[in-house]
Amino acid sequence: MAKPTSPDMFDAAFPILTEGQIDVLRTYGAEREITVGEDLFHQGERSLDFFVLLEGEVELLEHLADEDRSISTRGPGHFFGEINMLTGQAVILTARVRKAGRVLQLSVPAIKEVVQQQPRLSDLILQAFILRRTILVKLGTGGRVVGSLHSADTTRLLTFMARNRLPHAFLDLDEDPEAEPFLRRAGGQPGPDPYLVWQGTQANLNPTNRQLAEWMGLDRKADLDERYDVVVIGAGPAGLGSAVNASSEGLRVLVVDKYAVGGQAGTSSRIENYLGFPAGLSGADLTTRAHIQAEKFGTRISVPHQAVGLARDGDDLQVTLDDTCTVRARSVIVATGVRYRRPPVDRLDEFDGMDVFYAATDMEARRCMGRAVAVIGGGNSAGQAALFLARSGLDVTIVIRREGLADTMSRYLIDQIENLPEISLRPFTECRALLGADRLEGVEVEDIRTGERDTLPVGALFMMIGADPQTDWLAGTLAVDEKGFILTGADLEDYVSDRERGRDPMPMETSMPGVFAVGDVRSGSVKRVASSVGEGSMAVQYLHRYLSDQYAGRTTPA
């Protein structure tokens, strides 16, 4: 179901440009006539120009299976465009001329020049882009996932779209009487597997994440054939921090991520200790802004691409991706982060993807309405998840092995948890088995002091325990510590290959010259969002030094 949007949000998302602002934009584009029925851009296209309406009227439409849905109609002074102008994603809406007139038309390269060269207009345009994406998400525009929540693939599609901030809506075949007729009109047949209905008439049976990414424009394959100054592997806070700093200083940057922009931080319901945001902000808001900022400076981001190999080839480094593509770069930043552990709990696989979650966002909260839930873990991520779920109207039990939270969680989170009666704590406890038939009905837990077992009557489980570095793909390539985190800088003192480079490794530089590691994946790093962003920025300064020394006195081929 679409969430309501306020008139104030629409007004902020569609500001009217002044004559002075339009005059500035005229130096970047050209005027032309428009006619009734003409589409300035069409739903599903992979690129669109930026339009300022000078005379006439334009309606924004979404094409559904058998009708057009009107989103908004705008007049002179309004401009048309969205985040996809910067990211290359598919266009969500069609802009159709209802009254003839004139527009000022700017190409994508031109509008990128505007946001880099005109700070005041940049702020106005980018803020409008961010709000427009928020509105499109709230209205449930874009792709329609039609299926049953009893299918793990339904959850997979919904999670992938939500994590990538792709506007979409869910039609539940088990609960929504409109779901089956809509699916049949789009050419699909109800069954155990979900469909993605895209552009109103294309019913695609159980697509993979990569297929979905290709249709939606997340997968920018054409960009993979080029040579970059730096390839950043991982699009969490550390990777985005690296990308923003490197691209803003003129380096050609490609970021690849195996799942979504934002990393684990993108799933955080609220980050309250990030500098400059006294009221806090969600992980999705932070990473959306960072994503746009990186694209503004020319960073190219492609999802989903998992790095599976790293090697040196002469002066270049080569990153091999899981679809066998190889990307060349002068340097590499590894920011692959960590993943939550999956404990040895009986029947976990049966409920994974349906009632067992590894993030707590609006999507998961809506799935759990009317059910008690358990959060497994005692770190900050677990605390943020418990608070968010409790404030969404759920009864929450935090399950931990320790006596309390003081040794593993920030004090500001503990204080809030202690003041919420909806949250209870089960110390000295471990999960042993999941209970239920088609859906989770409870969790068998054990008191680790006595061995006594009982049942927690919960309908969903949020796993947020421990963190393992995502470095399996680097085995034998980079030096790591005993837990698999990447060694850098002075920690490489005893690593024999360092003698070959003729210098000490720089801070954050790995055992392979020109390869740097930042954020949670780096041994000894502080596992916090702000620290990861800072490391990303610092690594770029050392990367500049490496490139200067490596290519001194030589012309670098394009």
Output the domain CATH number for residue 166. 3.40.30
Give the Cβ contact number of residue 66 at 10 Å: 11
Domain termination site, one of 110, 134, 154: 110
State the burial class of residue 527 (Cβ atoms within 10 Å of its Cβ: 0-12, 13-18, 19+). Answer: middle
Both 376 and 235 in one domain: the answer is no
135 inside domain = no
Mean pLDDT of 1-26: 85
pLDDT at 284: 87
Nearest to 276 by CA among 529, 8, 557: 529
**Domains in the chain, number:** 4
Among 6-15, 45-54, 197-206, 545-554, top mean pLDDT goes to 45-54
Same domain, 165 and 180: yes
Residues 193 and 225 in one domain: no
Among 300, 302, 301, 307, residue whose Cα is nearest residue 323: 307
- Whole-number pLDDT of residue 556: 45
Q: What tens digit of pLDDT does each residue of 370-423 get?
A: 999 999 999 999 999 999 999 999 999 999 999 999 999 999 999 999 999 999
Is residue 556 in a domain?
A: no
Same domain, yes or no, for 352 and 396?
yes
Tokens of 553: 């006195």
Instruction: Please check whether residue 125 lies inside any domain of the structure.
Output: no
Kindly give, in sequence order, each residue whose CB lies less than 8 Å from that of residue 313, ignoring residues fewer than 6 positions away.
328
The pLDDT, as a whole number, for residue 558 is 42
Q: Is residue 538 part of a domain?
A: yes
Burial class (CB within 10 angstroms; exposed 0-12, middle 13-18, buried 19+) of 451:
exposed
Cα angle for residues 12, 7, 58 (degrees, 5° grid): 70
| 274 occurs within a structural domain | yes
Residues 419 and 274 in one domain: no
Whole-structure pTM value: 0.90
Q: What is the pLDDT of residue 498?
A: 47
CA gap 422, 277 in Å, rounded = 27
pLDDT value at 71 more than 50 = yes
- Is residue 324's pLDDT more than 90? no
If asked whether residues 229 and 289 sit together in one domain, one would say yes
436 and 453 both lie in a single domain: yes
Claim to verify: residue 165 and residue 182 sit in the same structural domain: yes
Q: Please check whether residues 501 and 528 belong to one and the same domain.
A: yes
At which of 216, 236, 253 does a domain end?
216
- Cβ neighbours of residue 244 under 8 Å, at least 6 residues apart? 290, 293, 294, 297, 299, 536
Of 369, 372, 425, 371, the closest CA to residue 392 belongs to 369
**pLDDT at residue 552, rounded to an integer:** 66
How remote is the C-alpha of 5 from its chain's centroid? 22
Which CATH number fits the domain that encloses residue 35? 2.60.120.10
The pLDDT value recorded for residue 124 is 97
Residue 497's pLDDT is 52
| 304, part of any domain | yes
Here the tokens at position 548 are 């200067």
Q: Is a pLDDT exceeding 50 seen at residue 555?
A: no
Domain final residue pick, 443, 463, 483: 463
What mean pLDDT is predicted for residues 423-431?
98
CA 70 from chain center: how many Å?
28
CA distances to 230, 260, 511 from 242, rounded to whole Å, are: 10, 16, 19
Query: Which CATH number is 358's domain given?
Result: 3.50.50.60
Check whether residue 211 and residue 272 sit in a common domain: no
Tell me the pairing of strands 356-357 and 300-302: unpaired
Please report whether residue 129 resides in a domain: no
Task: Provide the domain limits for residue 18.
Answer: 12-110
In a domain, 70, yes or no: yes
Nearest to 29 by CA among 129, 108, 107, 121: 107
Q: Do 455 and 496 lie in a common domain?
A: no
Residues 329 and 229 in one domain: yes
Which residues are bridge partners to 513 per DSSP? Answer: none
φ, ψ dihedrals at 50, nearest 5°: -95, 130
Quick one: how many helices (H) and strands (E) in the chain?
A: 15, 27
